[in-house]
Amino acid sequence: MPSSTPLSWPTPEAPSCPILKILQGQVALVTGASSGIGRSIAIALGHAGANVVINYLGHPDKAESVAEEIRRCGSKAITALADVSKPDQVEAMFQKTISELGRLDILVNNAGIQLDAAFEDITLDQWQRVMDVNLTGPFLCSQEAVRIFNKQGIDPTLSCAAGKIICISSVHEVIPWAGHVNYAASKGGLMLLMKSLAQEVAPRRIRVNSIAPGAIRTPINSAAWSTREAYDALLPLIPQKRIGEPEEIGRAAVWLASDQSDYVHGITLFVDGGMTLYPGFETGG
């Protein structure tokens, strides 16, 4: 890749307050929504008319600024402090959702962490923490959501589904990743959590899917895009030859949460500029 490749590419813009509010009146809870992909998803859902619960762990000020941005577009937004791997905190967060916003229609299991190390150096604590946040978190949150969806049933004035769950996975649910074994294992696990749950709850009209982002410009992977050298090393892995922007995941989440995708069930939607297309074969093979 020539070193003249820009670090930032023009990407399609969505209007910040779209007139088409396809999620009007629905309530969405997004975990890990104070920054990165979660932030963009929360804002996109809010702009599409949903009232949003912004879950966060470390940065109340950032969570509040996401809420303010959503309120500017006319939707309600509240923040909820919770570690998604702790059952009592998760339960309290869903109770807060119901008591303050009245219902739940959409859960986005976004919270995730990377604790990278060579395989032989991964500590049990690093292994466990990644599993706790990336896999136990979606398990606990989805369980709370399914219980609520069961109780609520379908409100046809809002959606033809009783509820929607979207897991934010990764291209590494299928691409092995040396040096990141704990992370890749957690995302592989999330894939079968999502698919097995999707199979189980489909008859109740609860829709479960994943989005698998590739390299997206967020803090979690700033080492991979913030310098010229790192960016040039990243591009050969991406057929589109550009990094993705968080808003592109937000737009995919709005579609997956809406009735526009009602017959889409138990799939992973890769939003990765083609990263899963074996880019090494562009010229080889």
CB of 243 to ligand BGC, least distance (A): 9
Q: Which of 221, 240, 255, 276 binds ligand BGC (CB under 6 A)?
A: 221
Residue 183 annotated in active site: yes
Applying CB under 6 A, which part among 50-58, 78-86, 159-167, 213-221 lies near ligand BGC?
Answer: 213-221
Q: Which is nearer to ligand BGC, 46 or 244 (CB)?
A: 244
195 binds ligand BGC (CB under 6 A): no
215 binds ligand BGC (CB under 6 A): yes
**Distance of alpha carbon 81 from alpha carbon 58, whole angstroms:** 8
Size of the site for ligand BGC (CB under 6 A): 9
Q: Which of 113, 122, 131, 220 binds ligand BGC (CB under 6 A)?
A: 220
172 binds ligand BGC (CB under 6 A): yes
Cα–Cα distance list, 118 to 67, 88, 130, 183, 237 (Å): 38, 33, 15, 12, 21
Catalytic residue among 56, 183, 231, 263: 183
181 binds ligand BGC (CB under 6 A): no
Contact map string, positions 132 to 171, toward ligand BGC, x by CB under 6 A: --------------------------------------xx
With 0-12 / 13-18 / 19 or more C-beta atoms within 10 angstroms meaning exposed / middle / buried, residue 8 is: exposed
Applying CB under 6 A, which part among 95-103, 141-149, 219-227, 252-260 lies near ligand BGC?
Answer: 219-227
**Distance of alpha carbon 180 from alpha carbon 114, whole angstroms:** 8
Pairing of strands 27-30, 51-56: parallel
**Distance of alpha carbon 105 from alpha carbon 158, whole angstroms:** 9
CB of 188 to ligand BGC, least distance (A): 12
Q: Which of 114, 126, 152, 240 binds ligand BGC (CB under 6 A)?
A: 114
Whether 48 and 258 have beta carbons less than 8 Å apart is answered as yes
Q: Where are the beta strands (DSSP E) in the chain?
A: 27-30, 51-56, 77-81, 106-109, 163-168, 206-213, 268-271
CB of 79 to ligand BGC, least distance (A): 24
Applying CB under 6 A, which part among 3-11, 64-72, 83-91, 218-226 lies near ligand BGC?
Answer: 218-226
Which active-site residues does the annotation give? 183
Q: Interface with ligand BGC by CB under 6 A: which residues? A: 114, 170-172, 214-215, 220-221, 224
